[in-house]
Chain A
Amino acid sequence: MKYGAYGLVEVLGSTAAILVVDKMLKTSSVGFETWNTKCGGHVTVFLGGDVSAVQSAVEAVKENPPCDIIAAAVISNPSEETERMVGLAR
């Protein structure tokens, strides 16, 4: 299992996504996994790391968001299927 947990944050617009990714990577030791953009402009950012790092990163973004966060969640010890799906979301 590569990562202890995945952090998922969804924002509107790629510039907002870059803001969020940069803020989260500076907050704690998480790795940028991938992101999935959709024609409507919705960008879902996937971050990987151990549970506490991912949680603190997602909390930091939720408390003072650089832009409006549509949804955010933390998946702790993802199953093998989840990892395969996140891999496909390139």
Chain B
Amino acid sequence: MKDNYKGQAIGIFELDNLVACYVALDAASKAADVKIQGVERNRLKSGACVKMRGDISNVNAAMEVALKTAEPIAKIVSSTVIASPTEGTDVAMDMTILK
């Protein structure tokens, strides 16, 4: 089922530890109503990035909780929130799901 995330706000954060990613995304999805678009292991070691979509207020709240949860258990590599992504960004987000 290809759910459609077109135009929703993007919340994306990357940690250096996949286990922490799942703990953080669990806390984030409980804290706010965000859809997790994917978890992508994109580093040689065990880092991964989590992509969250939803409307901007939910994504902000989820990102805050995710980073606060991930703080003690992993190194936060980078994180960003994009309020209204362009067309191309949506395509890019879909392409690299769990490769």
Q: Which residues in A have some Cβ–Cβ distance to B below 8 Å?
A: 6, 8-10, 36, 38-40, 42, 44, 70-73, 75, 78-82, 84-86, 88-89
Q: Would you call the interface of chain B mostly helix, strand, loop, or mixed?
A: mixed
A86: B residues at CB distance < 8 A? 22
Is B98 located at the chain interface by the 8 A CB criterion? yes
Q: Which residues in B have some Cβ–Cβ distance to A below 8 Å?
A: 17-20, 22-23, 25-26, 29-30, 34-36, 38-39, 41, 44-46, 73-74, 98
Contacts A70-B46, A73-B73, A75-B23; A42 near B18 (Cβ below 8 A): yes
A39 to B41, CA, bound (A): 10
Contact B46 A82 (CB under 8 A): no
Contact B36 A10 (CB under 8 A): no
Contact B39 A85 (CB under 8 A): yes
Contact B25 A39 (CB under 8 A): no
Least distance between B86 CB and chain A CB atoms (Å): 25
Instruction: Output the nearest chain A residue to B31 by Cβ-Cβ distance.
Output: A79
A81: B residues at CB distance < 8 A? 25-26, 29, 34-36
Contacts A38-B46, A82-B29, A89-B39; A71 near B22 (Cβ below 8 A): no
A84: B residues at CB distance < 8 A? 36
Which residue of B22, B30, B45 is within 8 Å of A6 (Cβ)? B22
Least distance between A43 CB and chain B CB atoms (Å): 9
Interface pairs A-B: 6 shortest CB-CB: A81-B29, A42-B46, A71-B19, A79-B29, A82-B26, A40-B44
Least distance between B17 CB and chain A CB atoms (Å): 5
Contact A36 B26 (CB under 8 A): no
